[in-house]
Amino acid sequence: MADLQAIVDEIHDKLAPRLGEGKVADYIPQLAHVDPKKFGMAIVTVDGETFKVGDADTPFSIQSISKVFTLTLALGKHGETTWNRVGREPSGSAFNSIVQLEHEEGKPRNPFINAGAIAVSDLVLAGHTPREAIGEIVRFVRYLADDDSIAIDPEVAKSEQATGYRNFALANFMRSFGKLDHPVEHVLGVYFHHCALAMTCTQLAKSGLFLAASGRNPLTGHTVVSKQRARRINALMLTCGHYDGSGDFAYRVGLPGKSGVGGGILAVAPGRASVAVWSPGLNHNGNSLLGSLALEMLTTRTGWSVF
Ligand code: DON
């Protein structure tokens, strides 16, 4: 195998002069105040080896990357009926767009845009209290990463709640179509809290490893999902994981990936490794600018593209 440590070191060295590029999310103070020059990358291979560089062990707000974990939970609870509430098509619109909902009767295009993730939060709630559902999500991510130190940043959750006017609009709109079963406040309580999970690149790469290894986490031996379900989640990450930048990410990186507005990206190289990268500066689609570049450099060096 290629010398992965040398490769991540080289990526870090090459990007060092560019750290700080891109625009850090500033819609809440907790994200606006993050040092724009942070950069971390972690690779965990299906053989259980870890390679990391930079700030790979500094926790950051994973934001929309958490939507991969809530989708996995919802599929576990509801199976294929999940798709009655949320579609599987790329939206070609911004992550927080409302336009398609009116023409498509309150059914979001996919589980990774905000509207779709809100529908998924409703499915995770499934008759539970928001506190129980949030606890279940945290326990699930700890189980995936085999790390009980993972937690939600309560200040981020509070700020999301205080400023989430657009998300309230999306949720109320869906509820008006009868597409949410629970009160909007409960559904968004779950959504805002899972977006506020704080994780390191190392923890994130471990938590995504089951997607690289046919549904089974080789570090713990736990079968998380079936092989078929892992393949399907990867397909959604490839086609929808970067919103209206998904095509560009597939073209340049060639891996299923999910971005978050905190500057993180989780990418899956099936049969090889799970990779997490963090650089807070975003491109115009709200995806990490240098994070995408780092992953492009990685797949160029390793040949890990799925194409
Ligand atoms: O709902 C929001 O606006 C944020 N909590 C999450 C959005 C996000 O991460 C979009 N990703 N680029």
What positions carry a catalytic annotation?
Answer: 64, 67, 191, 243, 261
What's the pLDDT at 78?
98
Same domain membership, residue 206 and residue 291: yes
Same domain membership, residue 163 and residue 120: yes
Cβ(296) – ligand 1 distance below 6 Å: no
Q: Whose CA is nearest to atom 2 of ligand 1?
A: 114
What's the pLDDT at 251?
98
Task: State which of 26, 60, 62, 63 you would mutate to test the pocket of ligand 1, scoring each by most atoms of that ligand within 8 A of its C-beta.
Answer: 63
The rounded distance, in Å, linking the Cα atoms of 301 and 304 is 8
Tens-digit pLDDT profile for residues 50-76: 999 999 999 999 999 999 999 999 999
Same domain membership, residue 78 and residue 170: yes
Same domain membership, residue 69 and residue 38: no
What's the pLDDT at 127?
87
Kindly give the number of the ligand 1 atom that is closest to the alpha carbon of 63.
9
Same domain membership, residue 110 and residue 212: no
Question: Could you tell me the two tokens for 35?
Answer: 């040092």
Same domain membership, residue 51 and residue 75: no
Answer whether 0.80 is exceeded by the pTM.
yes
Cβ(304) – ligand 1 distance below 6 Å: no
Same domain membership, residue 97 and residue 163: yes
Domain count, the chain: 2
167 assigned ligand-binding residue: yes
Residue after which a domain boundary falls, among 197, 230, 252: 197
DSSP characters for 67-87? Answer: HHHHHHHHHHHHGGGGGGTS-
Q: Using 50 as the pLDDT threshold, list the residues of the chain that sit under it.
A: none
DSSP characters for 243-292? Answer: GGGHHHHHHHT-S-EEE-TTSEEEEEETTTEEEEEE---B-TTSSBHHHH
Same domain membership, residue 113 and residue 179: yes
Same domain membership, residue 164 and residue 207: no
What's the pLDDT at 1?
59
Residue after which a domain boundary falls, among 162, 197, 232: 197
114 assigned ligand-binding residue: yes
Kindly give the number of the ligand 1 atom that is closest to the alpha carbon of 286.
12
What's the pLDDT at 94?
87
Q: Whose CA is nearest to atom 1 of ligand 1?
A: 114
What's the pLDDT at 31?
97
Same domain membership, residue 264 and residue 161: no
Same domain membership, residue 246 and residue 272: yes
Structural domain containing residue 31: 4-63+199-302
Kindly give the number of the ligand 1 atom that is closest to the alpha carbon of 95.
10
Which CATH number covers residue 265? 3.40.710.10
142 part of a folded domain: yes
34 assigned ligand-binding residue: no
List Cα–Cα distances, 267 to 82, 185, 209, in angstroms.
23, 32, 10
191 assigned ligand-binding residue: yes
CA of 221 to the centre of ligand 1 (A): 32
307 part of a folded domain: no
Three-class SS state of 238? helix
Residue after which a domain boundary falls, among 150, 181, 197: 197
278 part of a folded domain: yes
Rounded to two decimals, the ipTM of the complex is 0.94
